[in-house]
Amino acid sequence: MPKKWQICIVLFLATTLNYLDRQTMSILAPTLQKELHLDNEALGSLFAIFYYAYTFSQMVVGPILDRANLRWAFAAAVFLWSVVSVLTGLASGFVSLLIFRLSLGVVESANWPAGMRVVSKLLAPRERALGNGIFTSGTSVGALIAPGLILGISAAWGWRWAFAIIGSLGIFWIAGWILMTRDPKMSPVWSETAPPQSKGLAGQLRTWMGIIKSPGFVPVLIVAVLVNPCLYYSVNWLPTYFAQQRGLTPGRQMGWILTAIYLGLDLGNLACGSVILALTRRNRSVQTARFAESVLATAAVMTCAAVPLLPMTGAVATRLPKH
């Protein structure tokens, strides 16, 4: 396999670790609530602070990565979020958890800007869609393996060890990354990439205005604002919902249920892409196909409103095919 595709696989593993680290708290939330005396309001604040930090930090991290050596900057980011994940296992209450979650949001925000920059510099334009597909698929795999892995570690050694062991996996990734990228011929890939017009405050403002004025910005923003909360609400609160409303304890049964739901998420991603492909092959425009897929996916998401009224099997089933 050519080195460039090997690096894409390493990027995929970084994204998988990124999702494992951030989901550890969500999956262990029922246990944390019990042992650290957290109510739902406190838990919501812990989830929210991560996403606030993650969102706004990307606006700062992106320009920094444009001017940094990507090889070492990416390794530093993974090292920092791994350290934060390990330290979260030492939390003694709400305040310490809040600090760790805020810190995790800041350092994890580097994953997507760094990964996409590596793909854009490593691959030819016609190869980048595949490269980004490999890189971002780590989100689905991370979500899929997280319940069984995290709950298994917690059941065997306790919730603190779950944070410590999941966080420690980043050290192995860093070692592989450094070995994989040590070829001197690849040094241009890791060099500074900031275009001249982006340097300075005036250049940054021009760049931002260009992005905001682009035709696709507002539609993408609207979709992201409306769709992402549905996804993250489910990812963050499902373990707590099943514990508080369905009486499940964090263990094998909950692990299988969450795995089934996240598997449904993966299948939903594939199904939505297949719908678009099938419609375009029937001479429908890409815009029409995407609109039809969005309507179908939105209708599927709306069935989740019936979850409180359904028995366990039905509640799980309504979560499966969502995109």
For 10-64, the pLDDT digits (tens) are: 999 999 999 999 999 999 999 999 999 999 999 999 999 999 999 899 888 888 8
Interacting residues of 31 by C-beta distance below 8 A, sequence separation 6+: 154, 159, 250
* pLDDT value of residue 106: 96
The answer, yes or no, to whether residue 142 has pLDDT greater than 90, is no
Q: What's the pLDDT score for residue 273?
A: 67
What lies within 8 Å, CB to CB, of 99 at 6+ separation is none
pLDDT value at residue 177: 93
For residue 313, name the pLDDT band (cuts at 50, 70, 90): low
Range 105-123 average pLDDT: 90
Quote the CA–CA distance of 299 and 289 in Å, as a whole number. 16
Q: Please spell the DSSP secondary structure of 69-112, one letter per residue.
A: -HHHHHHHHHHHHHHHHHHHTT--SHHHHHHHHHHHHHHHTTHH
Q: Where in the chain is the domain with CATH 1.20.1250.20?
A: 1-194
- Residues 230 and 235: their CA atoms lie apart, in Å, by 9
**Rounded CA separation 124/126 (Å):** 6
Q: What is the pLDDT of residues 51-79, one digit of tens each?
A: 999 989 988 888 888 888 888 999 999 99
How large a percentage of the chain has pLDDT more than 90? 37
- Written as six digits, the tokens of 114 are 């760094």
CA distance 18 to 166: 10
CATH for the 1-194 domain, from 1.10.260.40, 3.30.200.20, 1.20.1250.20, 3.40.190.10: 1.20.1250.20
Structure tokens at 125: 């334009």
Using CA atoms, how far apart are residues 25 and 48, in angstroms rounded to an integer?
12
Whether 74 contacts 110, CB under 8 Å: yes
Mean pLDDT value across residues 286-290: 79
Calculate mean pLDDT across residues 259-269: 75
Residues in CB range of 232: below 8 A, 6 or more apart: 47, 51
Q: For the chain, give the mean pLDDT.
A: 84
Burial (CB < 10 A; 0-12, 13-18, 19+), residue 207, is middle
pLDDT band for 192, please (50, 70, 90 cuts): low
The residue that leads in pLDDT, 75 or 263, is: 75
Kindly report the length of the chain.
323
User: Does the pLDDT at position 320 exceed 60?
Assistant: no
Mean pLDDT of 89-103: 96
Residue 282, helix vs strand vs coil: coil
* pLDDT at residue 276, as a whole number: 77
Q: Long-range pairs for 217-226 at CB < 8 Å and ≥24 separation?
A: 223/294
Other C-beta atoms within 10 Å of 3: how many? 13
Please tell me the pTM assigned to this model: 0.81
**Interval 190-195 mean pLDDT:** 60
Question: Bigger pLDDT: 286 or 162?
Answer: 162
The token pair at 40 is: 């739902």
Query: What is the chain's Cα-based Rg?
Result: 21
More confident site: 322 or 242:
242
Q: For the ranges 87-96, 184-193, 248-257, which has the lowest average pLDDT?
A: 184-193
Lowest-confidence region among 66-80, 192-206, 307-321: 192-206
SS3 310: coil
**Looking at per-residue confidence, does 146 or 263 come out higher?**
146
What is the distance of C-alpha 315 from the center of its chain?
24
